[in-house]
């Protein structure tokens, strides 16, 4: 894969804002028309560095909410809520994982920032 290009900070800040709007939309019913706009912005970022000779080059983000967490994950910086460090689940995403993609190759350009806590089992 080619060397990772310098990613302008403003792109990272814009992705963070799109992520925050998307999080807030999840609490609103009838958000379909706004979701279309969010999805279009995500598509623009996914191809922001594409050229006619190099397609599918851009940025994407991943919201890991609800995923299991352990200390071997290299894509996250986590704060642990509570005392236990077993059966951890991501309960809050402060910043999403941002990746640079060039064709089928991806690289993390910013780790996600999350809060994790022990998975609660309903008995």
List residues bridging with 115 in a β-sheet.
79, 92
| pLDDT given at position 2 | 62
- The per-residue pLDDT for 1 is 53
3-state secondary structure 45-82: HHCCCCCCCCCCEEEEEECCCCCEECCCCCCEEEEECC
Q: What percent of the chain has pLDDT over 70?
A: 95
Q: Taking the domains of the chain in order of start, what are their residue ranges? A: 9-118
At residue 3, the pLDDT reads: 75
Q: What is the pLDDT of residues 72-105, one digit of tens each?
A: 999 999 999 988 888 999 999 999 999 999 999 9
Question: In angstroms, what CA-CA distances link 38 with 20, 58, 72?
Answer: 11, 16, 32
| Confidence band, pLDDT 50/70/90 cuts, at residue 121 | low
User: Is residue 123 scored above 70 in pLDDT?
Assistant: no
pLDDT in tens, 40-64: 999 999 999 999 999 999 999 999 9
Q: What is the pLDDT of residue 33?
A: 79
């Amino acid at each position: 894969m080619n060397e990772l290009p310098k990613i302008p900070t403003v792109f990272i800040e814009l992705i963070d804002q799109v992520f925050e709007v998307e999080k807030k939309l999840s609490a609103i019913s009838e958000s379909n028309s706004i979701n279309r706009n969010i999805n279009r912005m995500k598509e623009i970022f996914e191809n922001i560095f594409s050229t006619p000779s190099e397609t599918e080059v851009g940025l994407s983000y991943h919201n890991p909410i609800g995923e299991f967490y352990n200390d071997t994950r290299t894509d996250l910086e986590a704060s642990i809520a509570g005392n236990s460090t077993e059966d951890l689940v991501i309960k809050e995403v402060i910043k999403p994982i941002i990746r640079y993609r060039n064709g089928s190759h991806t690289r993390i350009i910013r780790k996600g920032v999350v809060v994790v806590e022990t998975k609660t089992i309903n008995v």
